[in-house]
Amino acid sequence: MSHIKNEQPLTNMTKSRNTKLSYLEGWLSIAINILLFGLKYWAGIVSGSIAIIADAWHTLSDSISSIFLLIGAKVSEKPPDERHPFGHGRAELITAILIGMFLAFVAYEFISESIERLHQKPEFHYGIIAIVVTILSIISKEGLAQFAFWAFRRTHSNALRADAWHHRSDAFSSLIILVGIFLGRFFWWIDAVLGIIVAMLILYSAFEIIREAVDPLMGKIPDKSTLREIKALCLDISGRPLRAHHFHLHEYGDHAELTFHLVFPRDYTLLQAHTLANELELTIRDKLNIEATIHMEPEGEEHDYFPEKNKFM
């Protein structure tokens, strides 16, 4: 079992690095977004543009999502305890859902106000201030998005990916507004329509963030690549193609729990089956960094709950 002990320091180092990157991205996002919010809001007031003001609040919402990110990173690094034996890694998924819900609320507010603007037909006057602030926003937000995506690739944190898409959606909305600034002199309705377009982009981002966070929370089967690796490990350890089925994968941040059924020949003794299953569990932990629990079944007594969707071999 020496391979199990050697894995722990690496896991702790990885968690520490992930937490530091989450903190860095979070605080950097908060500082830049608050500055951009002030500039955009000022430009929106000066120009009378609902689209720019809405974009300012979208930027401020990034700071709130970053606060959620920092809270999620802090909670997820807590070790397992009696009430949470699998650790607190799912705090990041919950954080991503909270970010998505907040984005959906912001999008609803933007749509409502933009529709009201279409009825009121208010005047707005884009100027050099609006152009400069909008360009600055595009560059800053895409820079934050690139940094957050880089941090996500290093940490595989769903909350970081959610924050990255939040930054990018803000950059897209600012880009659309920049186009609208040059068209505003020709179409009186352009500002309100841009507000609605920005809101729809935010709403789409919210849907994607929530969908990707809910999937692992619901539990799922491993991907095909992981299934193939488990199949190969079963064959290597047993020397024969034992049939496995009924896979369930539960993810808790950096920690993953896998349960599945393994069918043994009827002439295997309980001790033989247990020894092989135990060796396979340890090998899956060592090779795939997944904690596996195997339900042993004698041939002809399988309990196959999902015969078409959850079986291989």
User: Which range marks the domain in which residue 36 is found?
Assistant: 2-218
Among 218, 249, 272, the domain-final residue is 218
> Residue 5's pLDDT is what?
37
Average pLDDT in the 208-231 region? 76
Q: Indicate if 262 and 208 belong to the same structural domain.
A: no
**Do 169 and 125 fall within a single domain?**
yes
Token pair, residue 279, equals: 């060796």
Residues 213 and 252 in one domain: no
Mean pLDDT of 21-35: 82
Q: Tokens representing 72? A: 């999620």
Q: In this structure, are 183 and 56 located in the same domain?
A: yes
In what order do the strands lie in the sheet containing 291-298? Answer: 291-298, 255-264, 243-252, 311-312
Asked if residue 115 and residue 261 are part of one domain, the reply reads: no
What is the rounded distance in angstroms from the CA atom of residue 213 to the CA atom of residue 215?
Answer: 6
The verdict on 236 and 201 lying in the same domain is no
Mean pLDDT, the chain, as a whole number? 75
- Name the pLDDT band for 310 (thresholds 50, 70, 90): very low
Q: How many domains does the chain have?
A: 2
pTM (2 d.p.):
0.57
Residues 152 and 54 in one domain: yes
218, 235, 255: which is the final residue of a domain?
A: 218
* 234 and 204 within one domain: no
Average pLDDT over residues 286-300: 83
pLDDT of residue 139: 92
136 pLDDT higher than 70: yes
Q: What is the pLDDT of residue 206?
A: 80
Say whether pLDDT at 312 is over 50. no
If asked whether residues 124 and 180 sit together in one domain, one would say yes
Judged against a pLDDT cut of 60, whether residue 304 lies above it is answered with no
Name the more confident of 78 and 299: 299
